[in-house]
A = this chain, B = another copy of it.
């Protein structure tokens, strides 16, 4: 898990004004870049995710086949591998880490792709959740570079309801005295566990719990799922400030904030030239299909294909074989086109 690359961004000025000296973009690659440099796929990470968490969708015989494609998985700012509150030296460390936008992430990734690899065209960008948000952002910011985008379980602009859901996660995490306004020396584990419990009801659908499908994931009881999966999720090497940095990025996400669009989300969507296949989860509680359907009206070559079933947001999380097959098959179809 430490076998990855780091691209040096130098002095990186974020959209909100801060400049991080010696900013870093961590990434991993799978496969080989073709001589014509036309086989690269960018697959950004999700909230809390690290590049290895994307590997379930990469493999021999799958759409993202490393024997055909050169797959680049860039780590999001704040995920603990790229520049983050937890790994940045003072004075921009911890609670002082800059506000990061979706555009900041994608602009850094664009520099990696072009400067490090000399790539000028991307057959596809894809990603789950906040990775889907970055996927849309690629389509808007670099319309002539990206041929196809396949965002799944994510949106072009964070809806107010989604924002409110995240407020709950944030409030639970920061209610812990041990958080100390971000100046903790040890992780606020009570707050992290509370954030996990708040998240639990949102991540999977009502029907997922009714059917007790967590048992398919190896959990012996509801409480075992809450502790073993959800509290464990937030304690698994995550840092409270890092989570809040990514949460801010998520809450503020809006492709309309891309430079040149002056907050006009619809105009930004209209600028996407890529063939777009959006795949929301049927019962996703915070990125409901309605968000994708709304956006699709304004995207010139946009299609929405709902992932059926009860796994909610985690339909795109790589834990359910049926959903993996659905997504992989759709990506194959898109790439063949």
Binding site for B on A (CB under 8 A): 159-165, 167-168, 170-177, 190-191, 193-194, 197-202, 204-210, 212, 222, 226, 285-286, 288, 290
- A175 contact set on B, CB distance < 8 A: 172-173, 175-176, 190-191, 194
- A199 contact set on B, CB distance < 8 A: 168
Q: Report which of B173, B200, B206 forms a contact with A159, defined as CB distance below 8 A.
A: B206
Which of A175, A198, A208, A290 is packed against the most chain B CB atoms within 10 Å?
A175
The answer to whether B222 and A164 touch across the interface, beta carbons within 8 angstroms, is yes
The answer to whether A206 and B161 touch across the interface, beta carbons within 8 angstroms, is yes
The verdict on A168 contacting B210 (CB below 8 Å), with A176-B175, A176-B177, A191-B175 known, is no
This chain: copies in complex: 2
Tell me the bound Cα distance from A207 to B206 in angstroms. Answer: 18
The verdict on A164 contacting B200 (CB below 8 Å), with A172-B172, A193-B171 known, is yes
- A201 contact set on B, CB distance < 8 A: 161, 164-165, 167-168, 202, 286
Residue on B nearest A288 in the bound complex, by CB: B206
- Knowing that A164-B209, A172-B194, A198-B198 touch, tell me 11 more A-B residue pairs with CB under 8 angstroms: A160-B212, A161-B205, A167-B200, A167-B226, A168-B197, A168-B198, A168-B201, A171-B193, A171-B194, A172-B175, A285-B285
Q: How far is the CB of A254 from chain B (nearest CB, A)?
A: 14
Q: List 29 A-B contacts (CB under 8 A).
A: A159-B209, A159-B210, A160-B210, A160-B212, A161-B210, A163-B222, A164-B201, A164-B222, A165-B201, A167-B197, A167-B200, A167-B201, A168-B197, A168-B199, A168-B200, A170-B197, A171-B172, A171-B193, A171-B198, A172-B172, A172-B194, A174-B194, A175-B176, A175-B190, A176-B176, A176-B177, A206-B285, A206-B288, A285-B285
The answer to whether A160 and B222 touch across the interface, beta carbons within 8 angstroms, is yes
Tell me the bound Cα distance from A283 to B112 in angstroms. Answer: 44
Tell me the bound Cα distance from A270 to B145 in angstroms. Answer: 63
